[in-house]
Amino acid sequence: MTFTTHRRQFAGVMTDRRRARILAPTFCVLALFVLSIFAFSASVQASSSYTPLTLSIGGSTLIAPQMADWVLGFQNLTSNVVTVNYQAVGSTTGTNDFLNQIFSLGFSDAPIPANHLATLYANGSVETPANSPPGLGGNDTLIQIIDGLAPVSIFYNLGSPTFGGVPWRPTLNLTGDVIAQMFLKNITSWNASQILTLNPGLTQPEKDYLGTLSVQPTHRSDGSGTSFALTTYFGQVDANWTADGFTAGSTSSSNFPSGELEGKGTGGVAGEVASVAGAIGYGETSYAIGAGLLYAAVENQAGYFVLPLPAGAAAAAAADAGVLAANPVAPITDAPGQASYPISTFTYAYVWQNEDVGTSGGATWTAGDAYDAVQFLNYIVTQGQSYAEALYYAPLPTSVVNIDLGLLSEVQYNGSPVVTTTTTTASSTTTTTTTSSSSGIPEFPPQLVLAALVAAIVVAAYAFSRRSVARGRSRAAG
């Protein structure tokens, strides 16, 4: 073989390799270009399915940190076609404002018992069915879904002591009956024997310091679903709570001894506790962390001290799965199980089953408005659960999500379901809303089509480059 032949073969190999190096990236760029076009198209398609609407909703302060992420995520999903205005006014006010058609959706840490709605109508707390528009309470069915799962932490302020030059920030062990007695003002000092017995690791200087602090219980000044969860728990673990004339499972601010510190909303309680050494309060864990407060490990039914973190709330929900299957709004406080945090609670969202007439800034709702509202709830219980643990909430169990999706499928507009079909699986909390084409052939989700197309282009580019290199090597070998 002549030198010229070798040079031509070498040039051929280099040409093929150069072509592969040029064309493979070109195909990848083309794939990215197609991806961007489809992504833009999908975004336009997603936003076009929504009706321009400002959704006015409100209630629970416990869920407010997570609600901020839900609102932002859903508005981004709709390309801001839908805006959501959430007012953290407390569970009781949020419930009443929903029932009185001030809010389109209501949010609370306490479910509405079956007989409570009739009582509210009877005592004039909300408009009677005769005065309510059809679909907003007039002969209508209230649907309440579970939207969140949270531990209610017992947080406290022991001042800023130092021992040996090191700040002292202890995590104290407390039991339910001790906490109840602190809120009943029967335990008045932080070095009470009941507290010291639960914390044998305290040194004498630490005990002496605790003796300088009086217990300052702090409760909600407004009607509160968080108070509902706490007093439900007190009723389960301490007979003195009801014996002293206080109600288990009450949202009322008057359901605590007089003369205690008070705060409006969970943030108000955390702020009040943060300003008074010796104060103790309750609320969602992120509020305690945000205010720089300590929180207790609380003894559960199995005798284990558990911190108010997402894993403990999730364990409580799992332990009570059988109870929830029979009654989805049953409390999960004082749940069995070694890992269960005993003051865990679900939070709830309210929607009317028939959305033929709704309120949107005083205007009559359209089918599109009803769709926006239901899809917001749909988003909360599926995609929105991904935000939970970063904010010290627990994601909803799949069994609860399925209950929620079944209830949302019952919401109607003009007799037709607002959401056609919603499904989820045991391994995912992704919601799929499906429809069929007029031919009866299922329509593939655009995301699936897009992924398949991009994958095909990338595979083709890779295969072409491999073929070019292989052809070049074959020429060189020949």
Residues 204 and 277 occupy one common structural domain: yes
Residues 6+ apart with CB under 8 A from 220: 90, 226, 227, 253, 262, 263, 264, 265, 266, 268, 269
Q: What is the pLDDT of residue 449?
A: 44
62: its two tokens:
């416990």
What residue ranges in 173-253 does DSSP mark as E strands?
A: 173-174, 216-220
170: its two tokens:
């202890």
What whole-number percentage of the chain has pLDDT above 70? Answer: 70
Distance CA 307, CA 316 (A): 12
Q: What distance lies between CA 135 and its chain's CA centroid?
A: 27
pLDDT grade for 141, boundaries at 50, 70 and 90: confident
Q: Is 337 a member of any domain?
A: no
pLDDT grade for 216, boundaries at 50, 70 and 90: very high
Distance CA 107, CA 95 (A): 7
Residues 312 and 170 occupy one common structural domain: yes
DSSP 98-164: HHTTSSSEEEESS---TTHHHHHHHTTSS--GGGSPBTTTBT--EEEEEEEEEEEEEEE-----EET
Residues 304 and 167 occupy one common structural domain: yes
Mean pLDDT, rounded, of the chain: 80
Q: Is 332 a member of any domain?
A: no
Q: What is the pLDDT of residue 66?
A: 96
Domain stop point among 275, 296, 326: 326
Distance CA 430, CA 386 (A): 10
> Is a pLDDT exceeding 90 seen at residue 403?
no
* CATH assignment at residue 134: 3.40.190.10
> Is a pLDDT exceeding 70 seen at residue 32?
no
Q: What is the pLDDT of residue 335?
A: 95
Distance CA 428, CA 416 (A): 27
Instruction: Give the pLDDT mean for 150-177.
Output: 97
Distance CA 193, CA 205 (A): 15
Q: Using the 8-state DSSP alphabet, how is residue 344 labeled?
A: E
Question: Phi-psi region for residue 177, left (φ > 0), alpha (ψ -120 to 50) or beta?
Answer: alpha
Q: What is the pLDDT of residue 430?
A: 41
Q: Is 362 a member of any domain?
A: yes
Q: Is 437 a member of any domain?
A: no
| Axis crossing angle, helix 225-237 with helix 91-99, rounded to the nearest 10 | 120
Distance CA 48, CA 39 (A): 14
Distance CA 91, CA 93 (A): 6
**∠ at Cα 183 (254, 234), nearest 5°?**
85
Instruction: Give the pLDDT mean for 341-366.
Output: 77
91: its two tokens:
């569970």
Residues 6+ apart with CB under 8 A from 172: 156, 195, 198, 199, 294, 296, 297
Instruction: Give the pLDDT mean for 423-446.
Output: 38
> Is a pLDDT exceeding 70 seen at residue 308?
yes
pLDDT grade for 467, boundaries at 50, 70 and 90: low
pLDDT grade for 1, boundaries at 50, 70 and 90: low
Domain stop point among 326, 356, 383: 326
Q: What is the pLDDT of residue 464?
A: 54
Query: Taking a C-beta distance cutoff of 8 angstroms, is the pair 232, 333 a contact?
Result: yes
Instruction: Give the pLDDT mean for 220-242.
Output: 92
210: its two tokens:
């605790």
Q: What is the pLDDT of residue 248?
A: 86
Residues 420 and 312 occupy one common structural domain: no
Query: Taking a C-beta distance cutoff of 8 angstroms, is the pair 347, 70 a contact?
Result: no
Report the DSSP beta bridge partners of residue 298: 174, 306
Residues 399 and 459 occupy one common structural domain: no
> Is a pLDDT exceeding 70 seen at residue 15?
no
Instruction: Give the pLDDT mean for 407-423.
Output: 79
> Is a pLDDT exceeding 60 seen at residue 263?
yes
Distance CA 452, CA 202 (A): 62
Query: Taking a C-beta distance cutoff of 8 angstroms, is the pair 395, 149 a contact?
Result: yes
Query: Taking a C-beta distance cutoff of 8 angstroms, is the pair 25, 18 a contact?
Result: no
The residue segments making up the domain with residue 394 are: 52-148+348-427
Highest mean pLDDT among 250-254, 345-349, 410-414: 345-349
> Is a pLDDT exceeding 60 seen at residue 425?
no
Q: Is 338 a member of any domain?
A: no
Instruction: Give the pLDDT mean for 26-43.
Output: 47
pLDDT grade for 132, boundaries at 50, 70 and 90: very low
> Is a pLDDT exceeding 70 seen at residue 59?
yes
Residues 9 and 70 occupy one common structural domain: no
Instruction: Give the pLDDT mean for 327-345.
Output: 93
3-state secondary structure of 345: strand
Residues 226 and 312 occupy one common structural domain: yes
Instruction: Give the pLDDT mean for 308-319.
Output: 96
Q: What distance lies between CA 404 and its chain's CA centroid?
A: 13
**pLDDT tens, position by position, 171-215:** 999 999 999 999 999 999 999 999 999 999 999 999 999 999 999
Residues 19 and 65 occupy one common structural domain: no
Between 366 and 390, name the one with better pLDDT: 390
Q: Is 333 a member of any domain?
A: no
- Which residue from 360, 365, 349, 350 is spatially nearest to 413, judged by alpha carbons? 365
> Is a pLDDT exceeding 50 seen at residue 76?
yes
| Prediction pTM value | 0.75
Q: Is 210 a member of any domain?
A: yes
Among 128-142, 190-204, 289-303, whose mean pLDDT is lowest? 128-142
| 264 φ, ψ (degrees, to nearest 5) | -85, 120
Between 324 and 379, name the one with better pLDDT: 379
Residues 234 and 313 occupy one common structural domain: yes
> Is a pLDDT exceeding 90 seen at residue 376?
yes
Residues 167 and 191 occupy one common structural domain: yes
Q: What is the pLDDT of residue 442?
A: 34
Residues 247 and 285 occupy one common structural domain: yes
Q: Is 93 a member of any domain?
A: yes
Residues 203 and 314 occupy one common structural domain: yes
Q: What is the pLDDT of residue 451?
A: 46
Instruction: Give the pLDDT mean for 355-382.
Output: 79
Q: What is the pLDDT of residue 49?
A: 84
Among 20-34, 148-162, 325-339, 443-457, whose mean pLDDT is lowest? 443-457
Distance CA 36, CA 30 (A): 10
Q: What is the pLDDT of residue 134?
A: 35
Domain count, the chain: 3
3-state secondary structure of 110: coil
